[in-house]
Chain A
Amino acid sequence: MFRSVLEGPTAQADMTVLVNGAETPAWDGETVAGVLLRVPGAGRTSAVTGEPRLPYCQMGVCFDCLAIVDGVASTQGCLVPVKPGMRIESQQGAREIGR
């Protein structure tokens, strides 16, 4: 998987976020999409074709980083900076809206 350029060999993580329930180190200035790239198997599947997808453009255009962030589905991960304790979940296929 990818490695963050912010992450030095000795640098302490600034925070912990939950990715699909797993505690994951994260650094100030990272986006949700950045974290998703580092975590194996944390991509989503396309609502159109069902194919696996990873964050791509990192600038809000491609929508391939959609994730469920703190319960809000279809969040563009590349536009959201990480926060301590943030819950990030992979979004599979078309979004389900609550009842």
Chain B
Amino acid sequence: MDADVIIIGAGVVGAALAYGVAKTGRTVVVLDGGDRDLRAARANFGLVWVQGKGSDAPAYSLLTRQSSDLWPEFRNELANRSPLALDYSRPGGLAFCLSETEYENRAAINERTHNQGAEADTAMVDRAELERMLPALTLGPDVVGASYCKLDGHVNPLQLLASLHHAIPSMGGKIMFRNPVEKIVPVAGGFNVIAAQGTLQAPRVIVAAGLATPTLTEPLGLSVPLRSERGQILVTERLAPILPFPGSGLRQSADGTIMIGATNENVADIGVTVSSATQLALRAMRIVPALGSARLVRQWAGMRVLPLDKTPIYAESLDYPGLFAAACHSGVTLAAAHAAMIAPAMASGHLPDQFAPFSNGRFNVQKCA
């Protein structure tokens, strides 16, 4: 055997799981894909976001809150294991509402989440309150208010990925870049993972390969139903601090750049378009008109990894125990939970009942009925 655990995918999900596995003292090898793979972890907006998440899925909502609470310690521990900068803060977050309808819809989402038992950590703030919270800017006339969740925060997602990639080898793990996996073959006592740079063997394999996950797991009967969605993001030059709170679709990074996102498009390529740039910029200017004079320095697109019901999938193969899959949209928000909760469970070979709502069995209507 080459390791206790092989993880396929060194994006933010695979890397956080590998970090968590390494913390348990087990040996882990992470196999990353090719340079031209979709790589959602490198296109991310960087929110560590609670509000609105899992408004129709209590288990997802709870896991999100748990991860959000684990994040400060996760961040500090990771920062101690790596010399790289890791900008993270948790001042609470805003979802701006640009009409009475948006304000009412947002209030309804919060109420639905709270009715499911989540703590009342999200509140609607009206325009006057919002103006007090944002003294360095003038809000556009359309801003009615916002919903504010005190648990929300943000992180530089590229620094997060780099820090994980630095920490894993320092804890005895190994990452093999540009090593796309062709297939997983069950053998006595584990699995052979056949990859570009050779075949590796381990008793446990976790597939966290984003949108490529099903192509690796489904030949072995482990179904991971995903769809994708393109998101485009704009980023401005560095500006003096004006936005002390991250917002959905608008956040100022610790560097000063303002990120504006993101579109939801049912498109298969990762190109960027003028129409999306226009749409994103117009909405940002309706919130903060002065942004109209800021220079844009980049526009990019990524593909969201979306389980069909948007709730994460943490699944173990029934036919081949030891084969796991992890796929979710919120790889950054859930990174702390992945490292502290999911990784130790998968590494020990068993997902406890608390994670049953995330099993892939939920998609199998016949089996449920």
Contacts and interface: CB of A to CB of B under 8 A. Distances in A.
Listed residue (A93, A95, A97) with the most chain B CB atoms within 10 angstroms of its CB: A97
Interface in A84-99: 93-99
Given A47-B256, A48-B255, A96 B293 contact: no
Interface string B223-245: 00000000000000111111000
Contacts of A94: 238-241, 256
B290 interface: yes
A72 B292 CA distance: 12
A97 B242 contact: yes
A98 B293 contact: yes
A95 B137 contact: no
A99 B240 contact: no
Contacts of B239: 94-97
Q: Is the interface of B mostly helix, strand, loop or mixed?
A: loop
Contact of B137 (A47, A48, A99): A99
B291 to A, nearest CB: 7
Contacts of A24: none
A80 to B, nearest CB: 14
A97 B255 CA distance: 15
Interface string A63-74: 000000000111
A74 B137 contact: no
Contacts of B295: 74
Interface residues of A, number: 12
A99 B290 contact: yes
Contacts of B136: 99
Interface string B124-142: 0000000000001110000
Nearest to A72: B293
B240 to A, nearest CB: 4
Contacts of B237: 47, 74, 95
Interface string B292-305: 01110000000000
Nearest to B255: A48
Contact of A93 (B137, B240, B242, B291): B240
B290 A97 contact: yes
Contacts of A93: 240
A96 B237 CA distance: 11
Contacts of A96: 239-240
Contacts of A99: 136-138, 290
A17 B138 CA distance: 33
Contacts of B241: 94
A11 B238 CA distance: 40
Contacts of B293: 72-73, 97-98
A72 B255 CA distance: 21
Contacts of A72: 293
Interface string B115-126: 000000000000
A9 to B, nearest CB: 40
Contacts of B238: 47-48, 94-95
A97 B291 contact: yes
Given A94-B238, A97-B294, A99-B138, 20 more contacts: A47-B238, A47-B256, A48-B238, A73-B293, A74-B237, A74-B295, A93-B240, A94-B239, A94-B256, A95-B238, A95-B239, A95-B240, A96-B239, A97-B240, A97-B242, A97-B290, A97-B291, A98-B290, A99-B137, A99-B290
Interface of B: 136-138, 237-242, 255-256, 290-291, 293-295
Interface of A: 47-48, 72-74, 93-99
6 residue pairs, one from A and one from B, having the closest CB atoms: A47-B238, A96-B240, A94-B256, A94-B238, A97-B290, A94-B240
